[in-house]
Copies of this chain bind each other. A is one copy, B any other.
Amino acid sequence: MEADQALLDELHHVYLFEELDDEQLTRVLRNSQRVSLPAKSLLFEAGQPADRFYLVHQGQIKLFSLSIDGDEKVMEILYPGNTFAEAIMFMQAKRYPVSAQALGDTVLYSFDMKGFRQILEESQQTCFRLMAGMSRRLHARINEISNLTLHNATYRLVVFLLEQIPEDAIELAEIHLSTPKSVIASRLSIQPETFSRILTRLSAAGLIEVKGNDISLLDVPGLRDLL
């Protein structure tokens, strides 16, 4: 495949390619293909020999498996910028463990596993760079999950707090909730640790005050602004 600048820019954002040098990237691209899949078409089935991995360029890919009863279990939905089946490249087994289907009309880039693996086998330095990149990305994702969980839980807690007071309350400076904190946390499906972190943050922002099991709402408009 010819490498245009747009494709190269796209690849630089993908963890597998970001650490390759120009010569390595040229080799990878020589054995790559652009694949257009109409909606609902099957790309591969579970159990088929795996020799290529993929990058979604446009559209969506569903990875799924079928139970003995024919029930479908969706494992993952992949969007533009996501790669899939590349983990197989690092393993002994060389068969696709799941099936892949295009959801809408989808465009993929497909890459040769053997060629990519060979680049890694030839250069330990490239392996280490790839591991560094993956390690950094894992940390970034864990961070993102932690923030999303906190954000989610904060939202639920603030909605709960505001539900306890009249809808038009604005002037009201202080209300006490005597529900035990552990009961609120459990009702809102918030982990105790996360719950404590949220109370600390809201208190530090002057929005609430916590005394034992009592929570006072000090700044109702401020709490509403969080939603």
Contact = CB atoms under 8 A, between A and B. Distances in A.
Interface of A: 15, 76-77, 79, 82, 84, 86-87, 90-91, 120-121, 124, 127-132, 134-139, 141-146, 148-149, 151-152, 155-156, 159, 167, 193, 227
A131 B130 CA distance: 8
A137 B138 contact: yes
Q: How many copies does the complex hold?
A: 2
A82 B145 CA distance: 13
The A interface, classified by DSSP as helix, strand, loop or mixed, is helix
29 contacts: A15-B138, A76-B139, A77-B146, A79-B193, A87-B135, A87-B136, A90-B128, A90-B129, A90-B131, A90-B132, A90-B135, A127-B127, A127-B131, A130-B131, A131-B131, A131-B134, A134-B138, A137-B138, A138-B141, A141-B142, A141-B145, A145-B145, A145-B148, A148-B149, A152-B152, A155-B155, A155-B156, A159-B227, A167-B167
A163 B126 CA distance: 54
Given A15-B138, A124-B121, A129-B90, A148 B146 contact: no
Nearest to A143: B76
A138 B138 contact: yes
Contacts of A152: 148, 151-152, 155
Contacts of A121: 124
Given A90-B131, A129-B90, A151-B152, A141 B143 contact: no
A19 to B, nearest CB: 10
Contacts of A130: 131
A100 to B, nearest CB: 13
Nearest to A159: B159
A181 to B, nearest CB: 19
A128 B116 CA distance: 12
